[in-house]
Amino acid sequence: MAIEFSEEAQKEYEEICKHYPDKDATLLPALHLAKREFKTATPEVMEYIASLVGVDPIKVLNVASFYTWYPKEKEGKYVIQVCSTLSCSLMGAETVVDYIEKKLDIKAGETTADGKFTLKKVECLGSCGTAPVMQINDDYFESLTEGKVDQILDDLK
Amino acid sequence: MEEKYFLKNKDNPESKNIDFYVKNGGYKAWESVLEGKSPDEVIGEVKKSGLRGRGGAGFPAGMKWSFVPKDSDRPKYLICNADESEPGTFKDRYIIEREPHMMLEGIAIASFAINCHQAYIYIRGEFVYGAKVLDEAIAEAEARGCLGKNIMGTGYDLDIAVHRGAGAYICGEETGQIESLEGKRGWPRLKPPFPAVVGVFNSPTVVNNVETLANLPLIFNRGADYFAGIGPNAKNTGPKLYCVSGHVKRPGLYEFPLGKNLNELIYEDCGGIRDGHELKAVIPGGSSVPVLRPEEIDVSMDYDSLAAIGSMLGSAGAIVMDDTTCLVDSLLNLEQFYAHESCGQCTPCREGTMWMVKILSRIEKGQGRMEDMDLLDDVAKNINFRTICPLGDAAAMPAMSFIDKFRDEFEEHIKQGGCPIQKDKSIKVPNADA
């Protein structure tokens, strides 16, 4: 097998297994670790996860393809997810997306040529009281303005 | 009740730490339950308190627990539903990030009531920070002997594991959540059997919302009678978190007893509609519930009062829309959400949501036909109550209510061949200084 978890992730996975009576239930946690370790759920990664969890590779594909959180294609270093559902939309989410599209010279769904940013429009992030909102990788950024977007993106190396 | 329960430590970042929590009486309720009550007594107290589910359906919590068969030799499981994904809702995130021990203490009490030794917190994948806070809180509670093995020397064991979701709204539905926890697609199950009888890992399972569980320490610290005395009547009891988003001056999270007047919430607590504009519509309980017109908002925000006027309390996520809002555009936005989040199992929902998006898109673009109004209503009615899970109903209710209450605006689009509203798509951040 060409790829495998780092020792740290391997240990974490063993810890996770202790909480479940059925190993199949560790599939989502294993895919979360895989996202951290390998970024993209490539066929090779999914085969590795299948062997780890003890299920058929087709099951991993079946499950991974159902959820939006596991990228199937290579994404930028920073994945910008702008919430576009109603509460954010009322507060100007479309303008935020337009602004980032112009700033990065890409359309939503695309990655910059240097591989630094991917821009996505996503469904409700559950932060409607501080709309408009975006998530970059693991972090939330709330009450966005154009100035704030500039500052946040310019600070990312 | 002027005294706040959930938001009492709103300005104190220490609130998430166990030292702070214990110093302020934390885990006392859990201790009293462990040392002095039987599971049946706990269920009885919760029934007496009148606590109803805060996730949306409003089912009595004590009753839900009592459906777990006592004679089953299978292990019992509790799942805390922290998948908060209903558009307009952001209350559980506050509890998770700021009062994690209130939530863990509630999980412990509920677990004891159903004789469960393994509980899961199913948290939406995007809440990465929240999952970290919970992991730390669990480790703190175990280190203090409040969770883990032989809790407080009583011999009771309880393991709580944080299980992260992966971006699917449907996993907020309890049987979809159970499937997802088992490592599958979040495809809701046909009921019966209900999860209380056959849930996760083929075992009796209770799924309760974060806010529901976080109420339990209050019930066992202050008594069921105290809790039952909060709120407008015996069927609507306890403190409640209200989420307000959209075109008000002060959007955000508020706490009042159940039964807060919606008009007061919008015009007094949230400071009213932003300057120079008027209210057009409010969705009172998260995006899935029927919309209200301005003349309908003088209503008590409780399960029964909102049901009586044809809407629902839902998750108490009020989305406020002013006169710059195009309601065709808003409904289209919501139906795109449901079309994207439909799991695809049931034909009415999978196909119907897609057709609603197509019809609404053409009306918004000015290419609608008059007969599209009845067509849209017909599609919605053919989804409603015809699917395995309530996502279908959740997609149908906004459509049916928008058409019923704002038909003129839809027809105006069709007559004029375009959108008649002066839309304001600018970025509005009333909390920019916060």
CATH code: domain of residue B381: 1.20.1440.230
Best of A13, A16, A87, A151 to mutate (most B CBs within 10 Å, chain B)? A87
Task: Assess if residue B433 is contained within a domain.
Answer: no
Kindly state whether residues B202 and B55 are assigned to the same domain: yes
Best of A27, A33, A65, A85 to mutate (most B CBs within 10 Å, chain B)? A85
Task: Count structural domains, chain B.
Answer: 3
Q: Count CA within 13 A, CB hemisphere, residue B113.
A: 30
CB atoms A69 and B165 under 8 Å = yes
Domain limit, last residue, from B170, B194, B228 = B228
- pLDDT 10s digits, A24-76: 999 999 999 999 999 999 999 999 999 999 999 999 999 999 999 999 899 99
Task: Assess if residue B199 is contained within a domain.
Answer: yes
Strand partners, A98: none
Within chain A, how many helices (H) and strands (E) appear? 7, 4
DSSP B365: T
- Distance separating alpha carbons of residues A48 and A64, to the nearest angstrom: 13
Task: Assess if residue B2 is contained within a domain.
Answer: no
What pLDDT is stored for residue B329 in this prediction?
A: 97
DSSP B163: E
Closest CA to A11 of A42, A40, A33: A33
Domain limit, last residue, from B295, B322, B349 = B322
CA terminus-to-terminus distance, chain A: 33
Best of A33, A80, A90 to mutate (most B CBs within 10 Å, chain B)? A90
Task: Assess if residue B425 is contained within a domain.
Answer: no
Residue-range definition of the domain harbouring residue B399: 327-419
Asked if A134 reaches chain B (Cβ–Cβ under 8 Å), the answer is: no
- pLDDT 10s digits, B28-53: 999 999 999 999 999 999 999 999 99
- Distance separating alpha carbons of residues B128 and A129, to the nearest angstrom: 19
Kindly state whether residues B317 and B335 are assigned to the same domain: no
Task: Assess if residue B8 is contained within a domain.
Answer: no
The fraction of chain A above a pLDDT of 70, given in percent, is 99
CB atoms B93 and A127 under 8 Å = yes
Kindly state whether residues B69 and B194 are assigned to the same domain: yes
Kindly state whether residues B76 and B224 are assigned to the same domain: yes
CB atoms B126 and A123 under 8 Å = no
CB atoms B124 and A146 under 8 Å = no
- pLDDT 10s digits, B267-303: 999 999 999 999 999 999 999 999 999 999 999 999 9
Task: Assess if residue B78 is contained within a domain.
Answer: yes
**Chain A nearest-CA residue for B179:** A25
Kindly state whether residues B202 and B284 are assigned to the same domain: no
Kindly state whether residues B50 and B194 are assigned to the same domain: yes
The shortest C-alpha distance from B34 to chain A (Å) reads 23
CATH code: domain of residue B37: 3.40.50.11540
What pLDDT is stored for residue B429 in this prediction?
A: 86
Domain limit, last residue, from B169, B202, B228 = B228
What pLDDT is stored for residue A50 in this prediction?
A: 98
- Distance separating alpha carbons of residues B18 and B145, to the nearest angstrom: 12
CATH code: domain of residue B315: 3.10.20.600
What pLDDT is stored for residue A82 in this prediction?
A: 98
For chain A, domains (ranges, CATH) are: 7-66 (1.10.10), 78-156 (3.40.30.10)
Q: Which two tokens mark B167?
A: 């971006």
CB atoms B129 and A66 under 8 Å = no
What pLDDT is stored for residue B434 in this prediction?
A: 43
CB atoms B85 and A124 under 8 Å = yes
The shortest C-alpha distance from B48 to chain A (Å) reads 32
Give the count of Cβ contacts less than 8 A between chain A and B. 173
Best of B245, B320, B332 to mutate (most A CBs within 10 Å, chain A)? B245
CB–CB of B358/B331 below 8 Å?
no
Task: Assess if residue B7 is contained within a domain.
Answer: no
How many CB atoms sit inside 10 A of residue B93's CB? Answer: 25
B286 SS3 class: strand
Kindly state whether residues B387 and B414 are assigned to the same domain: yes
The shortest C-alpha distance from A148 to chain B (Å) reads 10
Task: Assess if residue B98 is contained within a domain.
Answer: yes
Per CB-CB distance under 8 Å, the chain A contacts of B117 are none
Kindly state whether residues B210 and B72 are assigned to the same domain: yes
Per CB-CB distance under 8 Å, the chain A contacts of B88 are 86-87, 124, 128
Kindly state whether residues B48 and B165 are assigned to the same domain: yes
Kindly state whether residues B71 and B20 are assigned to the same domain: yes
The dihedral over CA atoms of A70, A72, A75, A79, expressed in degrees to the nearest 10, equals -30
Per CB-CB distance under 8 Å, the chain A contacts of B89 are 126, 128
> Over A38-103, what HEC string results?
HCCCCHHHHHHHHHHHCCCHHHHHHHHCCCCCCCCCCCCCEEEEEECCHHHHHCCHHHHHHHHHHH
CB atoms A123 and B341 under 8 Å = yes
Q: In this complex, which of B182, B245, B341 lies closest to A131 when CB atoms are compared?
A: B245
Per CB-CB distance under 8 Å, the chain B contacts of A124 are 85-88, 169, 287, 337
The fraction of chain A above a pLDDT of 90, given in percent, is 97
- Distance separating alpha carbons of residues B375 and B361, to the nearest angstrom: 14
Kindly state whether residues B87 and B176 are assigned to the same domain: yes
**Below-70 pLDDT ranges, chain B:** 1, 431-434
Kindly state whether residues B137 and B37 are assigned to the same domain: yes
Strand partners, A119: A80
What pLDDT is stored for residue B433 in this prediction?
A: 45
A98 SS3 class: helix
